[in-house]
Structure 1
Amino acid sequence: MSSSSAGNVTRLPNRDTALKALYDDVSAKHMFPFWATSTDVEHDEVKQLLATPKAVPYLWRCAEDIEPILNRAVELVTMDDSERRSLVLVNPGLAPKRATVSTMYTAYRLNDANEIMPPHRHSPSAIRFGLKGKGNFTGVDGENIVFGPGDMVLTPNDTWHNHGTVGNEQALNLSVLDLPLVETLNAIHFEHDYQEMENGKLVSKKQQAERFSPDYSQRIYGYGGLLPRFASKQARGAGLSSPMFVYRWEMMRELLDRHRDNDGDAHDGLLVEYIDPTTGQPVFKTITFFVQMLQPGQKTLPVKTTSSLLVSPFEGQGHSIVNGQKFDWSQFDTLAIPGGSWFEHVNTSSKDPLFLFIASDEPTLKKLALYKKWGKSASGEITQIFD
């Protein structure tokens, strides 16, 4: 009878020693034994296979922790030392990986007065969202954009851009990138040698020549429902994102102010998505952005999605509850909500609305047919939500 039969295997002498040696050999050769055994033994392969690092709900505090460190860094780290002075938020469940949730990271940047870094481009898609100061600067593909609090600026995949400040005051902004996702897909690339054609020859430059007026994005694309066909002849960056590179807070606020008497959806409040005005789709193919408004005293019903969220309170006061844990945030903080978490938001003000800036990897999940969303009713009944 073959020694590999089930009857002989159970009667092998020194089976425990031989089994340990087997597992040691598998590990040494960088493999994993995926044969499931029961959960009451030492080797539970299913549990080990699923025990990968996972993001956890976590809150980073801007005024208490982030800004003091950035203020010290401004004094100690100049643009001569490094062209970047940003703090990346690292999720404790994913450390040391640079990720705030599994697919995205948020970074805060404080630029000193009149600091502008040279152009670069990269495969991750990114945005800048103004927090403090009127002189935040991002030049994108020859459009020099100065932005303030609440304005969102795109720096799309494979598009030359540079950052900094103009004017005589510091400026604070946060950025969101899909870098962890792109890194997982082994598709990261960065370029820093920006060149332009001069007299028939490519010459390295520290600043992009202005090819579009500073108000180009708003002037051409900033009218909902109206698309200038003549603008389609002009390439915008690598053509992989919305061609509208800046979304002004005043337009978002004006839209939401029109609905001050509307509570919106019980799970989402009033949720507005930033979109590509030429397609109606998210601004990027991988990540999307929202502003969520809650009326005074409003509390959303619990919701859960397979997408991961990064939430930054922009105006107002309140707290969030994630998987039963209360997070008392303040203005400009960042709250990580990993996919699969139950969460709800509360506006604790009795007179003022609450505005949350939100990033999500929803577009990636939808393209992979992995996006789902559920909500709880006031009585606790769970139903799937389709949006």
Structure 2
Amino acid sequence: MTQHSAIDPAVMQQRKAYYDKIGSRKLAPLWEVLHALVIPQPKSACQPALWRYDELRDDIMEAGRLITAKEAERRVLILENPGMPGQSRITTSLYAGLQLILPGEVAPAHRHTQSALRFIVEGNGAYTAVDGEKTIMREGDFVITPSWTWHDHGNDSDHPMVWMDGLDIPLVQALDCSFMERLPEDSQPLARPTGDALARYGAGLLPVDHEVRTPTSPVFNYPYSRTREALETMRRADEWDPCHGLKLQYVNPATGQSAMPTIGTYMQLLPKGFTGEAYRSSDATVFSVVEGKGHTMVGEGSTAERFDWGRRDTFVIPSWVPHRHHAPDGDAVLFSFSDRPVQKVLGLWRESRGNR
């Protein structure tokens, strides 16, 4: 807002009358709001937050006793950022929730313009079917549901399965591009054998006639066993980043770009005794703990918070908030996702290390 303290009261009255007049014509003066529109650095409603899985698990399982997967369509407990209650957001641009599928259940087939990831938190043996192919999911796997592809989930195992859903729902809402359809049947017809996509595209090879028709990776299940092996191979090279430890990005093998066009996904290894240097970036980031335990210092000075985390916990770091990861007692592995690909395409992404 413009500074009014030294302005003549008569002038102030004239301006108010002017603002009222142009307001009736659906106009507004930029100079009154410019300071809030163009700010020196990010100032987000998103707040740092931690969800401890052991404290949430009973609530997740209780949902399974209260409503079926078919009735709910997607039986999910939303991870609501405390700075944006009621908005179904974990960051300003991303949604996250924990989905439960009980033995014998099917979550019915539908498709939507929002892109989705599934990161498997608990259990082994449930499946998701995406665009005519089924994949079996195991803890630590990263699974993609591309925009506008049919998908359904089911559990043929004898134990509950829980995974984190991450979607670009707020981003798609902001663009007014939300569309959704349901299939008449609960499960879509399968057109390819299980494992076809990984065999066809996931070995550093592509079919000779492959054409890139979508920015989303043709591999839709990145098994944790392969990811973990890659981290161990890198460990032997001793190439530790002072902020991230060893951090890998999931990529589309056909383009070398992010596996998903709107959501960047990563896995990192923090070795025993790791004390990270301060890091901040413009992409608010959601972390899920795959292995080990440790803590993250969020913020700086007297307002800094300490998040003590362990296996299956989730925490979020807002945009441009400095943080430091620590794994004093043993190795830890963290999965994370953010809207970095969108920011990079638009030339907006920034990072800062240490005290810079």
SS in 2 for 1:327: strand
> Which of 327, 343, 353 in structure 2 is aligned with 1:365?
343
Asked if residue 325 in structure 1 is aligned to residue 305 in structure 2, the reply is: yes
SS in 2 for 1:344: strand
Q: Are the equivalent residues in 2 in contact too, given 1:263–1:295 (CA < 8 A)?
A: no
Q: Could you give the per-residue CA deviations for residues 108-148 of structure 1, whole angstroms, max 9, x where no partner exists?
A: 01111111122111111111111111122110011111111
Inter-CA distance 80–28: structure 2 relative to 1 (3 Å threshold): farther
Q: Distance in 1 between matches of 2:58 and 2:24?
A: 46
What code does the residue aligned with 2:114 have? P
SS in 1 for 2:295: strand
Asked if residue 144 in structure 1 is aligned to residue 134 in structure 2, the reply is: yes
Q: Distance in 2 between matches of 1:29 and 1:112?
A: 56
Cα deviation, residue 27, structure 1: 7.2
Q: Are the equivalent residues in 1 in contact too, given 2:44–2:319 (CA < 8 A)?
A: no
What code does the residue aligned with 1:366 have? K
Inter-CA distance 110–27: structure 2 relative to 1 (3 Å threshold): farther
- 1:146-185 equivalent positions in 2, closer than 5 A: 146-185=136-175
What code does the residue aligned with 1:364 have? V
Aligned residue in 2 for 1:244:
219
Q: Are the equivalent residues in 1 in contact too, given 2:152–2:186 (CA < 8 A)?
A: no
What code does the residue aligned with 1:144 have? K
Q: Are the equivalent residues in 2 in contact too, given 1:100–1:106 (CA < 8 A)?
A: yes
SS in 1 for 2:234: coil
> Which of 25, 31, 35 in structure 2 is aligned with 1:35?
31
SS in 2 for 1:265: coil
Q: Distance in 2 between matches of 1:211 and 1:338?
A: 41
Q: Distance in 2 between matches of 1:322 and 1:28?
A: 46
Cα deviation, residue 263, structure 1: 4.8
Inter-CA distance 141–47: structure 2 relative to 1 (3 Å threshold): closer
Aligned residue in 2 for 1:57:
48
Q: Are the equivalent residues in 2 in contact too, given 1:117–1:164 (CA < 8 A)?
A: yes
- 1:1-387 equivalent positions in 2, closer than 5 A: 10=8, 12=10, 32-36=28-32, 46-47=35-36, 54-64=45-55, 66-192=56-182, 194=183, 204-224=184-204, 226-230=205-209, 232=210, 239-261=214-236, 262-323=238-299, 324-349=304-329, 352-376=330-354, 380=355, 382=356
Cα deviation, residue 327, structure 1: 1.0
Q: Distance in 1 between matches of 2:17 and 2:38?
A: 20
Larger Rg: 1
RMSD: 2.5
Cα deviation, residue 161, structure 1: 0.6
Q: Could you give the per-residue CA deviations for residues 346-382 of structure 1, whole angstroms, max 9, x where no partner exists?
A: 1121xx3210000021110011100111101xxx4x2
SS in 2 for 1:258: helix
Inter-CA distance 25–206: structure 2 relative to 1 (3 Å threshold): same
Q: Distance in 2 between matches of 1:175 and 1:209?
A: 23
Q: Are the equivalent residues in 2 in contact too, given 1:53–1:94 (CA < 8 A)?
A: no
Inter-CA distance 285–47: structure 2 relative to 1 (3 Å threshold): closer
Cα deviation, residue 10, structure 1: 2.5
Q: Could you give the per-residue CA deviations for residues 157-207 of structure 1, whole angstroms, max 9, x where no partner exists?
A: 011111231222111111111111111111111111x2xxxxxxxxx4332
Q: Could you give the per-residue CA deviations for residues 32-84 of structure 1, whole angstroms, max 9, x where no partner exists?
A: 54324xxxxxxx873588698621111122211x2221111111112353211
Q: Are the equivalent residues in 1 in contact too, given 2:243–2:325 (CA < 8 A)?
A: no
Q: Distance in 2 between matches of 1:45 and 1:239?
A: 38
Q: Are the equivalent residues in 1 in contact too, given 2:102–2:160 (CA < 8 A)?
A: yes
Q: Distance in 2 between matches of 1:336 and 1:100?
A: 7
Identity %: 31
Inter-CA distance 169–48: structure 2 relative to 1 (3 Å threshold): same
Inter-CA distance 337–138: structure 2 relative to 1 (3 Å threshold): same
Inter-CA distance 263–320: structure 2 relative to 1 (3 Å threshold): farther
Q: Are the equivalent residues in 1 in contact too, given 2:142–2:223 (CA < 8 A)?
A: yes
Bigger RCO of structures 1 and 2 (CA < 8 A, at least 6 apart)? 2
SS in 1 for 2:165: strand
Inter-CA distance 339–26: structure 2 relative to 1 (3 Å threshold): farther
Dislocated runs of 4+, deviation >4 Å: 18-32, 47-53
Structure 1 residue runs of 5 or longer lacking an equivalent are 1-8, 37-43, 195-203, 383-387
Structure 2 residue runs of 5 or longer lacking an equivalent are 1-6
Q: Distance in 2 between matches of 1:274 and 1:52?
A: 29
SS in 2 for 1:260: helix
What code does the residue aligned with 2:327 have? N
